[in-house]
Amino acid sequence: MKEYKNFINGKFMNSQSGRTFENRNPADWDEVVGIFPKSTADDINVAIEASKKAYKKWRDVPWPKRSEIMRRAAEILIEKKEDVAKLMTREMGKVIKETRGDVQEGIDTALYASIQGRKYYGYTLPSELQNKSCWTRRDPLGVWGLITPWNFPIAIPSWKIFPCLLSGNTAIIKPATYTPACAGELVQILHEAGVPDGVLNIVYGGGGEIGEALLHHEDIVGISFTGSSDIGKRIGEVCGQTLKRCSLELGGKNGEVVLRDANLDLALDGVLWGAFGTTGQRCTATSRLILEEPIYDTFIEMLKTKTEKLRLGNGLDERVDVGPLVSEAQRETVHSYVEIGKKEGATLLTGGEVYAEGECARGWFYRPTVFVDVLPTMRIAQEEIFGPVLSVIKAKNFEEAIEILNGTVYGLSSSIYTKDLAKAHKAIERAETGIVYINAQTIGAECHLPFGGMKNTGNGHREGGWTAYEIFTEVKTVYIDYSGTLQKAQIDTWEK
Ligand code: NAP
């Protein structure tokens, strides 16, 4: 068990409140993973002061020099990959092959930043006047608040930290209360890589207290938030009042469509990985399966057999497929949705109960659950459950399948299994989601491509790839007039 402290201006600090909280292993509640300061607005104020000061120097460091630090961070993360992955499994429960992938996403994002530092392009455009040049550049904004959820403890902080810092901003990160340790390790790696004091600070504590303090502070120029749609709306509201830049990556209710001509074995592997990977606690998790009528009965039979073979247990065991839920409260939420599904008249195909055999009795395990005969309007088909619960819906044909796919308030990820090229293209065109997969599951983003969703999944920004840099920079349009005369756009003519 490690005792963590806030890291502000290059120094470890306790909270001025003197309070702490502990983080426990969801697969083994007896294990305390770490103890953390329970910070207050006073601690946030200190971090913001340090970050403001650091910004004045950091913004002048050339992009390629900043990117060298990002490369060093990637190298250190590569060395520590296994240790960080194991810490993550202990901290939030997902199985070790997935936590290795989570750390790898951090490494990839750091390496992408190391390249991006030498190629962040502006535009050069012709002027409508003679002897005048026009171009754009991108500049940093200042001190950012980065607020992250618990389900991707390295990947999501990385998606924010690397583009934010590479762009010349400074930041305070407030990680989720369930996963503070991994974020703390990442901040130390960046410090070791050469990020100067004050440029990146971490303050631990509750969202309602220090998250709110970040939102309301007048020296914070922007908030980059990933989390639930409910908290996202609150953040958007406060940022709107003070005109802070605000990027929101929120919830999902993702659907996999399997058409009658699909490769069913492939679609089955896709839905098992999409629905029960990370115990269903991914924003892109497959929580709805939409089957075309002719293959419905066959597919649910195949699904039942394979779902029941999934092995539950402590994610550090390489043989385990499904780890625990992150907390007791999350398990209760999942179970309450199972009760709702039953009351709504859906048929429970498998699962629907707590799993407490052997060592699993000490953790927050829940059996992978499948409901069939689900109607698109039922709550289990509409609301984000964030657990291992899959709702299977029957569609008469392709058109109805796409209508069901789009029939939620969310719009993050969708997947269509078919061999029909025309239907695949039509689905890509019609899907109201920021990410569309053809013949692949709803999960599996790559760091160099835009990531984000439509409708209640966000406010139009995209993390990942080059688009993340658009969030963290301001476009500056530059006109240089070398004519030596007064020239007037829209008024002068070239014949003059
Ligand atoms: P959450 O409850 O919304 O919390 C997210 C973060 O916000 C946490 O750090 C939380 O702190 C903080 N927070 C809570 N209340 C706040 C407030 N009033 N002001 C400022 N910050 C506040 O979400 P979660 O349970 O951690 O994560 C699950 C959700 O994230 C799901 O809805 C999932 O779909 C979504 N998600 C979306 C994406 C995406 O890219 N679209 C990716 C991953 C997850 P505490 O931990 O201290 O409460």
Domain annotation covers residue 196: yes
* Whole-angstrom distance, CA of residue 384 vs CA of residue 169: 33
Question: How far, in Å, CA of 22 to CA of 29, rounded?
Answer: 11
Q: Are residues 114 and 240 in the same domain?
A: yes
Q: Are residues 11 and 140 in the same domain?
A: yes
Residue 249 beta carbon below 6 angstroms from any ligand 1 atom:
yes
Do the bridges between strand 369-372 and strand 389-395 make them parallel or antiparallel, or are there none, so unpaired? parallel
Task: Please check whether residue 452 lies inside any domain of the structure.
Answer: no
**Tens digit of pLDDT for each residue in 413-432?**
999 999 999 999 999 999 99
Ligand 1 probe mutation, 40, 147, 467, most atoms within 8 A of CB? 147
In a domain, 493, yes or no: no
Say yes or no: 365 and 299 in one domain. Answer: yes
- C-alpha closest to that of 388 among 405, 411, 371, 413: 371
As a whole-number percent, the residues of the chain with pLDDT over 90 amount to 98
What is the number of the ligand 1 atom nearest to the C-alpha of 149?
26
Instruction: Return the residue whose CA atom lies nearest to atom 14 of ligand 1.
Output: 207
In this prediction, residues 155-180 reach a mean pLDDT of: 98
Ligand 1 in reach of 157 Cβ (< 6 A): no
What pLDDT shows up at residue 365?
Answer: 98
- For residue 294, what are the domain limits? 254-438
Supply the mean pLDDT for the chain.
97
Q: Are residues 291 and 237 in the same domain?
A: no
Residue 228 Cα to ligand 1 middle (Å): 5
Q: Is ligand 1 within 6 A of the CB of residue 206?
A: yes
pLDDT digits (tens, 9 = 90+) for 57-88: 999 999 999 999 999 999 999 999 999 999 99
* 383 touches ligand 1 (CB under 6 Å): no
On whether residue 484 sits in a domain, the answer given is no
Q: For 399-408, what is the mean pLDDT? A: 98
Task: For residues 43 and 92, state if they share a domain.
Answer: yes
Q: How far apart are CA 142 and CA 164, in angstroms?
A: 10
What is the tally of structural domains in the chain?
2
Of the candidates 179, 146, 139, 141, the one whose C-alpha atom is nearest the C-alpha of residue 162 is 146
- Within a domain: 238: yes
Atom of ligand 1 at shortest range from CA of 147: 9
Residue 242 confidence (pLDDT): 92
Q: Is 102 in the pocket of ligand 1 (CB under 6 A)?
A: no
Answer yes or no: do 302 and 352 share one domain: yes
The pLDDT value recorded for residue 495 is: 77
Given pLDDT bands bounded at 50, 70 and 90, which one contains residue 494? Answer: confident
Residue type, 334: V
Closest C-alpha residue for ligand 1 atom 40: 249
What is the CA(230)–ligand 1 centre distance, in A? 9
443 lines ligand 1 (CB under 6 A): no
- Is the pLDDT score of 28 beyond 90? yes
| Structural domain includes residue 489 | no
d(CA 417, CA 413): 14
Write a three-state SS string for the chain: CEECCEEECCEEECCCCCCEEEEEECCEEEEEEEEEECCCHHHHHHHHHHHHHHHHHHCCCCHHHHHHHHHHHHHHHHHHHHHHHHHHHHHHCCCHHHHHHHHHHHHHHHHHHHHHCCCCCCCEECCCCCCEEEEEEEECCCEEEEECCCCCCCHHHHHHHHHHHHCCCEEEEECCCCCHHHHHHHHHHHHHHCCCCCCEEECCCCHHHHHHHHHHCCCEEEEEEECCHHHHHHHHHHHHHHCCEEEEECCCCEEEEECCCCCHHHHHHHHHHHHHHHHHCCCCCEEEEEEEHHHHHHHHHHHHHHHHCCCECCCCCCCCCECCCCCHHHHHHHHHHHHHHHHHCCEEEECCCECCCHHHHHCCCECCEEEECCCCCCHHHHCCCCCCEEEEEEECCHHHHHHHHCCCCEECEEEEECCCHHHHHHHHHHCCCCEEEECCCCCCCCCCCCECCEECCECCCCECCCHHHHHCCEEEEEEEECCCCCCCCCCCCCCC
Average pLDDT over residues 189-204: 98
% pLDDT > 70, the chain:
100
Q: Are residues 245 and 279 in the same domain?
A: no
| Residue 420 CB neighbours (<10 A) | 15
Distance (Å) from CA 347 to ligand 1 centroid: 31
- 343 occurs within a structural domain: yes
CATH code, 208: 3.40.605.10
From ligand 1's centre to the CA of 386, what distance in Å? 12
231 pocket-lining for ligand 1 (C-beta < 6 Å): yes
pLDDT of residue 120: 85
For the annotated catalytic residues, the residue numbers are: 249, 283
Is residue 229 located within the same domain as residue 296?
no
Residue-wise pLDDT tens digits, 198-249: 999 999 999 999 999 999 999 999 999 999 999 999 999 999 999 999 999 9
User: Over the stretch 124-138, which tens digit does the pLDDT of each residue have?
Assistant: 999 999 999 999 999
For residue 279, pLDDT over 80 is answered with: yes
Question: What pTM was computed for the model?
Answer: 0.98
User: How crowded is the C-beta side of 213, counted as CA atoms within 13 Å?
Assistant: 20
Both 422 and 334 in one domain: the answer is yes
Q: Please, are residues 449 and 413 in contact by the beta-carbon 8 Å criterion?
A: no
pLDDT score for 496: 59
Ligand 1 centroid to Cα of residue 187, in Å, is 19
Tell whether 112 and 142 lie within a shared domain. Answer: yes
Is the confidence at residue 407, as pLDDT, over 90?
Answer: yes
Mean pLDDT across 242-257? 97
103 shares its domain with 167: yes
Is position 450 within any domain?
Answer: no
Q: State which of 151, 333, 455, 467 you would mutate to test the pocket of ligand 1, scoring each by most atoms of that ligand within 8 A of its C-beta.
A: 151
Question: Ligand 1 centroid vs 454 CA: distance in angstroms?
Answer: 18
CB of 325 closer than 6 angstroms to any ligand 1 atom: no
The closest of 50, 45, 473 to 217, measured between CA atoms, is: 45
Q: Say which range, 109-113, 119-123, 151-155, 436-440, has the weakest mean pLDDT.
A: 119-123
Per-residue confidence at 1, pLDDT binned at 50, 70, 90? confident
Q: Is the CB of 284 under 6 A from ligand 1?
A: no
Atom of ligand 1 nearest to the CA of 238: 19
The answer on 268 and 197 residing in a single domain is: no
Quickly state the pLDDT bin for 308 (edges 50, 70, 90).
very high
CATH number at residue 381: 3.40.309.10
